[in-house]
Every structure is written in structure tokens, then in C-alpha cells.
Amino acid sequence: MHTTLSSPTRQVTIGHDQPFCIIGERINPTGRRIFQEQLRAGDLSAIERDVVTQVEQGAMVLDVNMGVPLTDEPELLQKAIRLIQSRTDLPICIDSSVVEALEAGLEVYEGRALVNSVTAEDDRMAAILPLVKRYGAAVIALPNDHDEIPMEADKRLVLTKKILDTAVDTYGLAIEDIVIDPLAMPIGADPNIVNVAYETMHRIRDEFGVNMTVGASNVSFGMPGRHTINATFLPMAMTVRLSSAIMDARTPQIVEAVKAADLLLGHDEWGMSWISAHRAKLAAAKAAEEAVAVPVASAQ
């Protein structure tokens, strides 16, 4: 089952038989005070820097959130999307809890976007799923409702079925265009919560066959050594068929762990992507050494 996203010139396919889809998380003002102040002042230069860094480090899709208090979020999101699409051809994941902002983003986006996100709440599905259908997008869906974020896999599976049935039968979406977030919660809050996430992923893959994504950084929240935790969590999740993640695409340790897992799981034919990346790393290191050596030689 393939979920296809696109820009005017590039297509990205999310699937259990495809390389893991790295969705860069960085263009998000949450917890970034200076970035928030810049956005309020109309300064979008940090977005440009974040685009360049994430593209260079291997992002395949860029998540974009413009939820800044005291701003016009729909207008700001439109500006951000236009700017990003002028700097890269990577597809975009339009990320907002505000329905008006999602619609504004979909209006200006050129291509087939991923919408982040909808829940199993009836009013949220009624507000968001028609937009997804109208603009021909795909959507991330979280199996939680008005009552709770379920701590048991059984309840998450019940809500996943509700979302899929409603999206397909009521709103006419194709099942492959619904990407389920099985809910990755902080390990520091409950030592068993990540095992619940793995169980949920395994059962969703077996029972529904849909693609899945998570906010990978949630797992390590509040813990030291976060990069190591995330770089371990994701390859383990890939063995139970997690097919993408909204993650830190700027950290080589995490990206390389995912790429190595692709190789070992047979999603990198003959290891060509791994070998190419390794050669590129060696070439960059050699170029850096030569750049340092030339001035020294000149001085002598």
C-alpha cells in the first residue's frame, strides 16, 4: 500500500516496501522563542536556513507548522509554504491544529500535500477530512478522541478502525491516503509506553495494512542522550513496519541509523544508497582536509 506525495517536480512514495520516509520536523516554532519572535516580526529567514539544512541532511518531506501566538496563522502558513516551495522541490506536510490554517495552506500548495493531522473525534473528522478530499491530499490520523489518549493498544486499534471506516465510507478517501500515527509517547513518563507503541504498529500493519508515521522526538522527551534514544527507537519501529517519521533530519546519528535499517531490511537495493552516502561523506571529509591544508602550505 503506497501513499504518494508530490511537489510540481518531485514525487515521494511512503510504503512498507519503500525506503523509510524522513519528514523533517524543524520548521516548527514550538519551543523556539527566537524563531517565534522573528515570525511575529515578519522575518522568515530562519525558515530558509532550516530548509537548506534539512535537505542537505536527507529529509524527503518537510513538515511546516506556523502556530505562533499573536499572529495570523493562515496567512503566515501560506507565506511559509510559498517560500519553501521556492527553495526546494521536496513535498510538504502541512501541520496545524487550526482548520482555517490547513485550508489556507492547501489552497496555495502546489502538489499533493500531507495534512498533519486529524483525530478520531467526530467533529475533527467532519472538519478536516472533507478538506483532504477536496484538495486531493493525504492525511495523518491519530487514534485518540475526546476522552483520552489511549494507553492500551486495543483502544488504539478500535479508534484506528473508526478513522479508517469514516474516512473511506463517509468521506470517500482512499485507504492508502490515510497514514496512521500509532502514538509514540515519552519513555520517561512510563517505562512500558514504547512497547505499547510497537505493539500498536505491529497490529495496525497486520489488521489494516496502512502506512504509519510518528513524531519520533516524543519518545526521548525529557531524557538525556536524546539522539541515541531516537536513533535506537526508529530502526526497532521499522522492524514492525513503521514507514515514516516526523523526525530530526539534521542529526546524522539518527538519519544514518534509519538508512542502515533500510539496508538491513532490504529497502536499499544492493546497498547502493548506503554506499553512495558513504562515498559522499568521505569526499566531503577529504575536501575539508584539503581546504585546511592549502592555507598552511601557502604560509610556509
Question: What pLDDT shows up at residue 54?
Answer: 96
Same domain, 103 and 72: yes
Q: Which residues constitute the domain of residue 299?
A: 269-300
Write down the H helix ranges in the chain.
Answer: 33-40, 45-57, 73-87, 99-108, 122-134, 153-165, 193-207, 226-238, 252-264, 272-299
According to the model, what pLDDT value does residue 286 have?
A: 86
The answer on 274 and 249 residing in a single domain is no
Number of domains in the chain: 2
Positive or negative CA dihedral for 237, 241, 245, 247? Answer: positive
pLDDT at position 126 over 90: yes
**Pick from 167, 168, 239: which is nearest to 202 by CA?**
239
Are 210 and 2 contacting, i.e. CB atoms less than 8 angstroms apart? no
What is the chain's mean pLDDT, rounded? 94
Longest dimension (CA), the chain: 76
In CATH, what number is assigned to the domain containing residue 93? Answer: 3.20.20.20
Confidence bin at 296 (pLDDT 50/70/90): low
Q: What is the pLDDT of residues 20-38, one digit of tens each?
A: 999 999 999 998 999 999 9
- Residues 162, 300, single domain; the answer is no
- pTM of the predicted structure, to 2 decimals: 0.93
Same domain, 70 and 212: yes
